[in-house]
Amino acid sequence: MPGMDGLVVLQELRRRHPALVVIMITGYGEVSMAVEAIKLGAYDYLLKPPDPDHLLLTINRALEKKELQQKVESLDRSLDSSLEMQLGRSAAIRQVIEDIRRVATSDFSLIIEGETGTGKTFIASLIHNLSHRATGPFIALDMGSIAESLLESELFGYEKGSFTGANHRKKGYFELAQGGTLLLDELQNLSPQAQSKILQVVDEKSFYPVGGDKPRSTDLRIIGATNADLGQAVSQGTFRQDLYYRLNEYSITLPPLRQRPEDIPLLAARLLSEAASELNRNFKELDDSALALLAGYPWPGNIRELKNVLRRATLQSDQRQLTADILSKVLTNNRCAGSALPGSDSDREGVASMPISLEQAEKETISLALAHTGGNRTKSAAILGITHKTLLAKIKKYGLH
């Protein structure tokens, strides 16, 4: 080997072919040499003359490792492709995908931040499904939907006889999520009392049911989600700093849809396919004018709004191809007021001339879903992309029947 020794050859092989599996065979038996070879990336280190059976065994194991690496790489590519189909391919979303893959295999608590409708619950469920807790439950809890008086019993459950009306033992969400993931959505709505109780559970990894005298240990992952700036809330003293840092072991920020219009064609195609299947309608496709309209619209409701608009267009249009004119009418009827629509002046004027509150727009969208399903609340909740409990609250709020 004039000019270089085996270790230098090993380094050069690893530099030129990083995926290559290398077995070193040498006449030098020093332990330090073997350790150095392994550090430099050798799969194994054998002494001359090698035992034929041992050599064949080592080669077979090296081939098995190579095959396993190729399978893992193939799965990684498939996973990337699947995540891209669901989320998009923009640079901003590629960073989100990288964050998902990095944190999913850990057991870190994390906070997902993003505007309303950006898909925080969906991302949390993805992380759960890619984690070692995937076989356990995934429970999403809207912290703004629990009355303060019921908070403790809802989170930690209660024992039979602990108060009037407690005729049986009830499990709380922390117990129901054991072995899995608990998503605390709308973190900004946590009261000081709730923050204190959750901090205690996170610190001690146990809790007491209402009326209970024995602690129950916790084995779950906590993911927080918020559309507010929790860092600012900490600075203002409305959110506990100690709880924030306990939950924020890792953070993911979801970009609003208006900042990644290049993802809209891919998202729209998937959402149209889902809408056609769920509504039992023929599949729709978007022409260039429709894509231009969608790309230029600011989407204050983000992906949730895009999903609702495309479902409504799928339901209302008998044409296979959706055009800008069709979508403009849907957007107008959907009362997306005050947003600049590309297209004709009449389209823009039609939307701008009908200012309407977000609550009224929400009420009309829920009414449409209920009408389409014949009042079936479970199906309506699925179409709207909200939980059955949230839909019931909205129906009561708006006095719908």
Q: What string of DSSP letters covers 149-204? A: GGHHHHHH-B-TTSSTT--S-B--HHHHTTTSEEEEE-GGG--HHHHHHHHHHHHH
- CA dist 131 and 138 (Å) reads 11
- CA dist 238 and 18 (Å) reads 51
Residue 23 host element (H or E): strand 23-26
CB atoms within 10 A of CB 356: 15
The pLDDT of residue 53 is 92
The pLDDT of residue 348 is 35
The pLDDT of residue 37 is 87
Q: Which of 65, 32, 23, 25 is nearest to 48 (CA)?
A: 25
Structural domains of the chain, with CATH: 6-74 (3.40.50.2300), 88-255 (3.40.50.300), 258-398 (1.10.8.60)
Q: What are the distances in angstroms from CA 301 to CA 79, 94, 269, 293?
A: 28, 21, 18, 16
Q: Which amino acid is at 185?
A: D
The pLDDT of residue 239 is 94
The pLDDT of residue 344 is 37
Return averaged pLDDT per consecutive 10 residues of the chain, 401 residues in all: 83 89 83 84 88 92 83 65 81 92 93 94 93 94 84 88 81 93 93 90 91 89 94 92 95 94 90 89 87 89 92 89 87 54 38 46 72 78 75 85 69
What stretches of 219-301 show up as alpha helix (H) in DSSP? Answer: 230-236, 241-247, 264-279, 288-296
Beta-bridge partner residues of 177: none
The pLDDT of residue 79 is 62
Query: Could you tell me the pTM of the whole model?
Result: 0.66
The pLDDT of residue 81 is 65
- CA dist 15 and 8 (Å) reads 11
The pLDDT of residue 347 is 36
